[in-house]
Structure 1
Amino acid sequence: MRRAFAARGHDVWSCDLLPADDGSNRHIVGDVRAQLTGEWDLLAVMHPPCTRLCNSGVRWLTTPPRNRTLKEMWEELREGAALFSDCWNAPIARVAVENPVMHRHAKALIRNYQPPACTVQPWWFGDPAFKATSFYLRNLDPLTPTNRLTPPKRGKDPVLWAEWSRIHRASPGPDRWKLRSATFPGIAAAAAAKWSPLVEEVA
């Protein structure tokens, strides 16, 4: 997302607990909440961790995975909802928060929760993949498809279906979270194209 907005000439920074994969010097290592001040005058696009918020993981709130407890699962849910809340309610004029489809427990814990403005698929923007992604938007317009591909049919071409599903259905492993959290280039480009003109008007 940072690279997509930078390509349009914006002064863009990313923030994460880990260093930037591309080695960029326009990246802050740390808790994003330390950066959510009134100093950002245009736009923040945030991707808080969704492990306990997303609908696909709601089952762990009743039957925890091996070597984990229900108490731990619910505590992680509360921590995730608190982080999402801080991002969503940041004192910034225009905010976009990206997350997968949420379950009802997460929605109940988020301050000033509002439904996502849009839920999109990577293949709507030229990336051959399945992964429903929701954008919670404040003072920004929803994304619209820019390059719709034709998705494969599961029974007709199982090999191609599996390739399109490799991120959505990634196997368990130490890097699964990182693979699933990556922003697809087509979605990032569409966001930059959609929202840049709006912020450029007041720059």
Structure 2
Amino acid sequence: CDVQECSGGHPEWHIQGDVLPYIDGSCIFTTMDGAAHRIDGTWDLLIAHPPCTYLSNAGARHLWKGHVLNQERYEKGLEGKAFFMRFWNANCPRICVENPVPSRIYGLPRYTQAIQPYEYGHPYSKRTCLWLKNLLPLQPTNIVEPIGTWCPSGSYSYKHGAKHKGIFTKDRAKNRSKTFLGIAQAMAQQWGVKTEKTPAPAATGNGGMGK
């Protein structure tokens, strides 16, 4: 479910619109192929990717102008935290919320684990945190050597050599929001079982996909 149209070629799997009316289950919705669906009770599993623009530790430097707090940005961060917590407190037995390392000023719950794309077959570094409820930590499936940083910040790119500048320094927000296929496959195969806290066999994968 996203406010944007699907980009993976499966409109039958995509709901376009505000996600909040649907996350607790017991809802009726229409996917982008025009088909209507009904969910009775809760979903089996919720995997959420809330926006990180104002919550990420990478953007913490924008919170201050000298020694003065940027009140507008701080309030947007509080709105981002409220949206994040709506997923974390959803009425669902199994929950994963994904985000970068958060700024401590917002006091988010402690994340469960941090993963990297190069642990799932993609030769890039992009530290990503997972907050988990009733799910075992995601296990690496195909560890490879990273060749660069995925979508690094402008300041990072400026200070580092060509090898370490990373991939996609333009359109960072869009490219950085993509979920790597290897990570998505690991989530599906390790968590896509009904038995609580029982992981399925791991998978390998290459390429990238949208949320």
TM-score range for the pair, normalised by the shorter chain length: 0.7 to 0.9
Alignment of 1:179-190 (within 5 A): 179-190=175-186
Structure with the bigger RCO (C-alpha within 8 Å, sep 6+) is 1
SS in 2 for 1:127: coil
* Residue number in structure 2 paired with 1:72: 72
Q: Deviations over 1:42-74 (max 9, x none)?
A: 10100000011111011111139xxxx923211
Q: Distance in 1 between the 2:93 and 2:13 partners?
A: 21
SS in 1 for 2:141: coil
Identity over aligned pairs, percent: 39
* Residue number in structure 2 paired with 1:26: 13
Q: Is the Cα contact below 8 Å between 2:24 and 2:43 reproduced in 1?
A: no
**Which of 175, 192, 196 matches 1:196?**
192
**Which of 127, 130, 141 matches 1:132?**
127
Alpha-carbon spacing, 1:159–1:176, altered in 2? closer, same or farther (3 Å): closer
Alignment of 1:20-169 (within 5 A): 20-23=6-9, 24-38=11-25, 39-63=41-65, 70-106=70-106, 108=107, 110=108, 113=109, 115-152=110-147, 159-162=162-165, 165-167=166-168
Q: Larger strand proportion, structure 1 or 2?
A: 2
Amino acid across the alignment from 2:19: V
Task: Give the TM-score normalised by the residue count of structure 2.
Answer: 0.72
Q: Is the Cα contact below 8 Å between 1:53 and 1:80 reproduced in 2?
A: yes
Alpha-carbon spacing, 1:179–1:31, altered in 2? closer, same or farther (3 Å): same
Q: Deviations over 1:138-162 (max 9, x none)?
A: 00000111110023489xxx55544
Counting matched residue pairs gives: 168
Q: Is the Cα contact below 8 Å between 1:118 and 1:136 reproduced in 2?
A: yes
Amino acid across the alignment from 1:166: I
**Which of 160, 172, 179 matches 1:176?**
172
Aligned-pair RMSD on alpha carbons?
2.4
Amino acid across the alignment from 1:57: G
Q: Is the Cα contact below 8 Å between 1:153 and 1:161 reproduced in 2?
A: yes
Q: Distance in 1 between the 2:43 and 2:123 partners?
A: 35
Alpha-carbon spacing, 1:119–1:17, altered in 2? closer, same or farther (3 Å): same
- Structure 2, unaligned runs of 5 or more: 26-40, 150-160, 199-211
Task: Give the TM-score normalised by the residue count of structure 1.
Answer: 0.75
